[in-house]
Amino acid sequence: MMKDLIHNSIIHYVSSFVQDSPFRATVYMEYCDRGSLRDMILAYKYRKEPHAPDFVPGSFVWHAFVGLAGALGYLATGRSCVPLSLEAVKNYNTAGVGSWVPVVHRDIKPDNVFLRSRDTPGSAKPFYVVLSDFGLAQRESEARPGRQGLVGSVEYHAPELAFDPYPDAARENLQAGPHTSKSDVWALAHPLRSLKAKGRAAKRSELDITEKVVYSEYLERSITWGAVRDPTDCPDGWELVTAP
């Protein structure tokens, strides 16, 4: 599957091989030299430098949101909203877009979002934000209701993976739904909240009034839209990245 996923915000597949005896499967991916989103969250959380801001800049949160939403939009549709890199263009096959089967990541969390430096030395632009670890990914057509909702990291699961939060009145048995593009969007919203609040957002329902408001209302609304509880109102990846 990884060989077919070509997007600037998705980890780049390099090569792979399987060793028979002893059995060992090895996958080579691009090297992301700046660690993970979790590393960044913890670095800001425990920052001690004098006069250094103790919050992640809003411009970077926007940058992460746009890049990762673009990655989910690509997984949902096979289309990219941003120009591909030159290397990606050489391998990109537009003929397959019409027959694209949505891919569901199923394990989006700060640990699986990597950061990579810009290629240009001295560049002031933010790090590349790259979605990684597709070990639990599957085509959406392969998803089935039931215990598959337990796959991945439970703290980032959408409500419908545990139970149907808005069941049809005619249904007698509540059953966990399968992972979908929308549950991936839900999972994305919470690492971004954690990025804004250095790991605290997923556990807090109220904002301390003594804290500074450092992020725009539009950014807050964009992230909150991806975390609505009713899956019928939640956007998929493409809707999230193309909304005005």
Beta-bridged to residue 26, according to DSSP, are: 17
Q: What is the CATH number of the domain that holds 47?
A: 1.10.510.10
User: Does the pLDDT value for residue 132 go beyond 70?
Assistant: yes
| Residue 11 binned pLDDT confidence (cut-offs 50, 70, 90) | very high
Cα–chain-centroid distance for residue 91?
Answer: 23
- Strand 113-116 versus strand 24-29 pairing type: unpaired
Who's near 127: CB < 8 A, 6+ residues apart? 34, 115, 116, 117, 118
Q: What is the mean pLDDT of residues 13-18?
A: 89
Task: Output the pLDDT for position 23.
Answer: 87
Whether the pLDDT of residue 110 is over 60: the answer is yes
Average pLDDT score over residue span 45-64: 78
Tokens of 120: 């240009």
Domain that includes residue 52, residue range: 2-242
The percentage of residues in the chain with a pLDDT greater than 70, rounded to a whole number, is 71
Q: Hey, which of 66-75, 86-95, 166-175, 209-218 has the most confident mean pLDDT? A: 66-75
Q: What is the mean pLDDT of residues 77-98?
A: 59
Q: What's the total number of domains in the chain? A: 1
> What single letter denotes the amino acid at residue 14?
V
pTM summary value: 0.77
What share of the chain in percent tops pLDDT 90?
Answer: 17
CB atoms within 10 A of CB 187: 26
Distance of alpha carbon 244 from alpha carbon 209, whole angstroms: 30
Residue 178: pLDDT band by 50, 70, 90 thresholds? Answer: confident
